[in-house]
Chain A
Amino acid sequence: MENQPPPFFRTGPTPLVRLLLFATISLALLVLDARLKYLDTLRQAASVVVYPIQRIAGAPASIFQRASEFFVTNSSLRSENTRLEQENLSQSALLQQLGLLQTENDHLRKLLGTRERLKARTSLAEILYAARDPFSRKLVIDQGSFNDVQAGEPVIDGVGVIGQVTRVYPWQAEVTLITDKGHLVPVLNTRNGIRAVLAGTGNDGALELRFVPLNADFENGDQLVTSGIDGVYPPGLPVAQVVNVERNAAFLFARITCKPLAGVNSHRQVLVVHAQQAAAERPPEPEPPPPQRSTKKGRRKS
Chain B
Amino acid sequence: MASISHQEILLPVKPGFIVFTLVAAAMLNMLPWTGWALWLRPDFVALVVLYWVIEQPHRLGFTAAFLLGLLMDVAEGALLGQHALAYSILVYGGILFHRRVRLFTPTPQIVHVIPLLLVNDVIVLGIRLMAGADFPGYRYFFGSFVGGALWPFLSMLLKLPQRPKPDSDHG
Q: Using CB atoms and an 8 Å cutoff, list the residues of chain B in contact with chain A.
A: 23, 26-34, 38-39, 61-63, 66, 69-71, 74-82, 84-85, 88-89, 91-92, 95-96, 99, 127-128, 131-134, 136, 140
**Set of chain A residues within 8 Å of B88, measured between Cβ atoms:** 19, 22-23, 26
One of A92-100, A130-138, A209-217 contacting the partner: A130-138
Q: Using CB atoms and an 8 Å cutoff, list the residues of chain A in contact with chain B.
A: 3, 15-16, 18-19, 21-23, 25-30, 32-34, 39, 42-43, 46-47, 49-50, 53-54, 56-58, 60-61, 129-136, 138, 140, 167, 174, 181-182, 202, 265
Option from B34, B63, B81 in Cβ contact (under 8 Å) with A131: B34
A54-B75, A181-B133 known; 14 new pairs, CB 8 Å cut-off, are A3-B96, A25-B84, A29-B80, A30-B81, A33-B80, A33-B81, A46-B71, A50-B75, A129-B30, A130-B32, A132-B30, A135-B128, A136-B133, A167-B77
B32 touches A18 (CB 8 A): no
What is the interface of chain A mostly: helix, strand, loop, or mixed? helix
> Could you tell me the distance between the alpha carbons of A32 and B79 in the complex, rounded to whole angstroms?
10
> Could you tell me the distance between the alpha carbons of A46 and B66 in the complex, rounded to whole angstroms?
13
B81 touches A202 (CB 8 A): no
How far, in Å, is A253 (CB) from chain B's closest CB?
Answer: 20
B79 touches A34 (CB 8 A): yes
B99 touches A202 (CB 8 A): no
Known: A133-B76, A181-B133. A30 touches B127 (CB 8 A): yes
A16 touches B79 (CB 8 A): no
B132 touches A182 (CB 8 A): yes
> Could you tell me the distance between the alpha carbons of A167 and B78 in the complex, rounded to whole angstroms?
11
**Set of chain A residues within 8 Å of B30, measured between Cβ atoms:** 50, 53-54, 57-58, 129, 132
Task: Identify 13 residue pairs between A and B in the complex whose beta-carbon atoms are under 8 Å apart, listed by A's number.
Answer: A22-B84, A23-B88, A26-B69, A30-B80, A30-B81, A50-B75, A56-B27, A61-B31, A132-B38, A132-B76, A134-B140, A182-B132, A265-B34
